[in-house]
Amino acid sequence: MEFVIISGLSGAGKSKAASFMEDTGFYVVDNMPAALIPKFAELCMASPGKYERVTLVTDIRGGQTFDGLFEALDALHSMGCQYKILFVEATTETIIKRYKETRRIHPLLRPGETLADAVSQERKDLEPVRRRAEYIIDTSALSTSKLRGEVIRLFGGDSAVPAMSVNVISFGFKYGIPLEADLVFDVRFLPNPYYIAELRHQTGLDKPVSDFVFGYQETRDFMTHLENLIGFLLPKYVEEGKTMLVIGIGCTGGQHRSVAITKALADFIQQKGYQATDNHRDMTRA
């Protein structure tokens, strides 16, 4: 079992880091009290195969909780639970700026103290945790996408599959464009199998319809351009931090042309090494 504890300064980005851990396949629990960590670890260890990768986010706020974390870590060691600590930090100036932007109150801020005082005290209290951390991420100069990339680099494992899934949806314009679509392509300009009597009641998943659609040079030219565009965009979206991309392919009724193109595009995306699924919203509505 891979067991990662995320700690660090308030406002440094612990919760964001945890959400990106979830993208890499971790089961994430946010804001877990230190006293509950050993019991939760025991539960995970007693359920092999169910909790293979676990991340806990815990805050250290004051001496009692601080001591509690080290007691929890000692208990994990005694149980034989191998864990690692990810410590998330940022400069005092960066944290102050973030708190001003969000208008939140720092959890250690006391009457008569400045925000800088609270950050400084928390940094001092957490120094022993930082020293024990296997991984330290300073988010001061990291954009959200770069933080995600760093988390994936550290915890993404050996999988070569990019941490973004793609859903390609066929649809009929007569029924409306899918609201969840990030990209929409109109293929109503392609030759329509609907007007071929023996193809009318088949779908784009049937070989005769697919052969008809791709039997035209304009379809093959379109697919070449579409594949070049999507092949260019996919790594850009991954770099930007996108975890789900929805591509809509529409024809008039969503039964023939869009279905055939959607299936071909999803196959192409899978061949590029991405997780891709094809769904056909309106295929059976006609």
Q: Is 204 annotated as a binding residue?
A: no
∠ Cα 252 255 261 (to 5°):
90
Q: Is 226 annotated as a binding residue?
A: no
Strand 135-138: give its sheet, edge to edge: 27-29, 53-57, 2-8, 83-89, 135-138
Position 158 scores a pLDDT of: 55
Report the domain count for the chain: 2
For residues 127-135, average pLDDT: 91
Same domain, yes or no: 39 and 97: yes
- Write down the pTM of the prediction: 0.62
For the segment 73-109, what is each residue's pLDDT rounded down to a tens digit? 889 988 888 899 999 999 999 999 999 998 888 888 8
Same domain, yes or no: 106 and 70: yes
Q: Which of 155, 178, 204 is the last residue of a domain?
A: 155
Q: Is 10 annotated as a binding residue?
A: yes
The amino acid occupying position 142 is: L
Q: Is 15 annotated as a binding residue?
A: yes
For the segment 185-237, what is each residue's pLDDT rounded down to a tens digit? 999 999 999 999 999 999 999 999 999 999 999 999 999 999 999 999 999 99
Q: Is 206 annotated as a binding residue?
A: no
Q: Is 11 annotated as a binding residue?
A: yes
Same domain, yes or no: 69 and 6: yes
Whole-number mean pLDDT of the chain? Answer: 90
Q: Is 60 annotated as a binding residue?
A: yes
Higher pLDDT, 189 or 35: 189
Same domain, yes or no: 11 and 141: yes
For residues 24-49, average pLDDT: 88
CB atoms closer than 10 angstroms to residue 19: 20
Q: Is 145 annotated as a binding residue?
A: no
Same domain, yes or no: 110 and 195: no
Q: Is 258 annotated as a binding residue?
A: no
| Cβ-Cβ contacts under 8 Å for 175 (sequence gap 6 or more) | 253, 254, 281, 282, 285
Same domain, yes or no: 173 and 133: no
Lowest mean pLDDT: which of 42-46, 79-83, 161-165, 213-217?
A: 161-165
Assigned domain for 160 exists: no
Same domain, yes or no: 143 and 173: no
Q: Is 12 annotated as a binding residue?
A: yes
